[in-house]
Amino acid sequence: MAYLTEFLHNPVTMTIAAGVFVLVLLTALVFGVLLARQRRSLEQLQDISNSLSHLQESFVRTNLNLESVANRLQNIESQYTEFSENYEHSKVELARLAEAMGGENQLTKAIDLARGGASAEEITLATGLGEDEASAIVKFHGSPKR
């Protein structure tokens, strides 16, 4: 024990012990700083990971929304095609009806002219009907005076 006290009271030993103590203290301080930086780096890495996770979820939602929009556009395109076909059919039908109505109007006009005493030539000029048709109309609908 006396040797230990004498050893500790030695100025060289005290200097070495103080140096070792300072080195241990500096080492502990450096490790503490490194651990704190590592903890902050891990927190930043976790934040980045969370941000990437949110970004991936947003990407998936956006992709699903785009697929939904694409499906809606396909539905609209098929409806447009159907409407276009219906429109074309309606135009053809309307033209056919107009043609039929025009023909009926000419026949009605020809009958009225024949009842009024017009000749087949006059009916042909007024209505654009053929002479055979005009003659038949005059024969069946013309006034009995002629």
Enter the DSSP assignment of 129: -
Sequence-distant (≥ 6) Cβ neighbours of residue 14 within 8 angstroms: 8
Residue 62, pLDDT score: 96
d(CA 83, CA 78): 9
Q: Which two tokens stand for residue 50?
A: 């969370």
Sequence-distant (≥ 6) Cβ neighbours of residue 129 within 8 angstroms: 106, 107, 110, 123, 137
Instruction: Enumerate the domain spans of the chain.
Output: 2-141
Mean of the per-residue pLDDT values of the chain: 88
Q: What is the pLDDT of residues 68-100, one digit of tens each?
A: 999 999 999 999 999 999 999 888 888 777 666
Residue 102 pLDDT class (50, 70, 90 cuts): low
Q: What is the pLDDT of residues 38-67, one digit of tens each?
A: 999 999 999 999 999 999 999 999 999 999
Residue 146, pLDDT score: 45
Residue 98, pLDDT score: 66
pTM of this prediction?
Answer: 0.44
> Tokens 């209505």 sit at which residue?
127
> Strands, E, within 49-127: which ranges?
none
Q: Which two tokens stand for residue 26?
A: 């500096």
Query: For residue 118, how many other CB atoms are within 10 A of its CB?
Result: 22
Residue 101, pLDDT score: 61
Sequence-distant (≥ 6) Cβ neighbours of residue 142 within 8 angstroms: 114, 115, 117
Residue 99, pLDDT score: 66
Read off the pLDDT of each residue in 8-26 and give the average, rounded to a whole number: 88
Q: What SS3 state is found at 142?
A: coil
> How many angstroms separate the first and last alpha carbons of the chain?
165
Percent of the chain with pLDDT over 70: 91
Residue 128 pLDDT class (50, 70, 90 cuts): confident
> How many helices and strands (H and E) does the chain possess?
4, 0
